[in-house]
Amino acid sequence: AKIKFEAYHVDRSVYVVDVRQSFDLQQAFKILEMLGFPQAAKCYHLGYGFVSLPEGAMSARKGRVVLFKDVADEAIRRVMAEIEQKNPDLRQDERQTVAIQVGLGAMAYAMLAIGNNKDMVYDMQAALNFDGHTGPYIQNAHVRANSILKKGDGIPTQGNFDYPLTSHEVQLIDLMSRFPTTIQQAAQEYRPLIIANYAYELASEFHSFYHVVPVIQTEDTHVRAARLRLVAAARQTLANALRLLDIQAPQVM
């Protein structure tokens, strides 16, 4: 603990350790405080729960152990097959890149979308679902936004929202405005779950907007420009939220 603060000048020392070790770490922090260690109050235990499989808890004695590489390879393989069906015209190298982005993103999001101190059952089929509370669903919202901007010839340099906004536009703008406070809350509480839930909520709101509000098809060029800028803002916010979760935002899927 002393080396961390004195040699590396950290602001806080966060111990990411099994939640079942919580009592032991609290004792260790208290001992540091009693010994007069000035940074004892800046030591924090971020507990995480136990991860099991649908078949049950992993056990070396029972031969029920799954390596990360095996899970990652299988996730990428499944996503590759899905992309081949959804976008058969995609080049093989692009398909491989996207499969890695989506496969690993799905694994990460499935873990982060659960409270870190709760036990979870890792279900690969559910994690890789392109619909619902999953990483691929959020990544797909980013891809849709990117596609709209591409069809609209990029982001307009001007576009004001001085026309009657639809309820979907208002809700999307309101949700994006809450992103900074969401990040602050997640950081203060050491809960990436908050950002994971926000990313899903934003993706869901964008999908609703996308299906109801015309953007490219709008005849009014003034409204079209404003909505394209709104799509660009949503795309950037989705990308930022995913980046904070260490998940990549693919351009195509």
Q: Provide the pLDDT for residue 64.
A: 72
DSSP state of 20: G
pLDDT at 80: 96
Q: How far apart are CA 233 and CA 166, in angstroms?
A: 17
Average pLDDT, the chain: 94
Within a 10 A sphere around the Cβ of 239, how many other Cβ atoms? 17
Measured CA to CA, the distance from residue 172 to residue 166 in angstroms comes to: 10
Contacts of 224 (CB under 8 A, 6+ apart): 152, 215, 216, 218
Q: What is the pTM of this model?
A: 0.90
pLDDT tier at 28 (50, 70, 90 boundaries)? very high
Q: What is the pLDDT of residue 107?
A: 96
Residue 179 pLDDT > 90: yes
Task: With a cut of 80, say whether residue 222 has pLDDT above it.
Answer: yes
pLDDT of 200 above 90 = yes
What residue ranges define each of the domains in the chain, with the CATH number in brackets?
2-48 (no CATH), 68-244 (1.10.730.10)
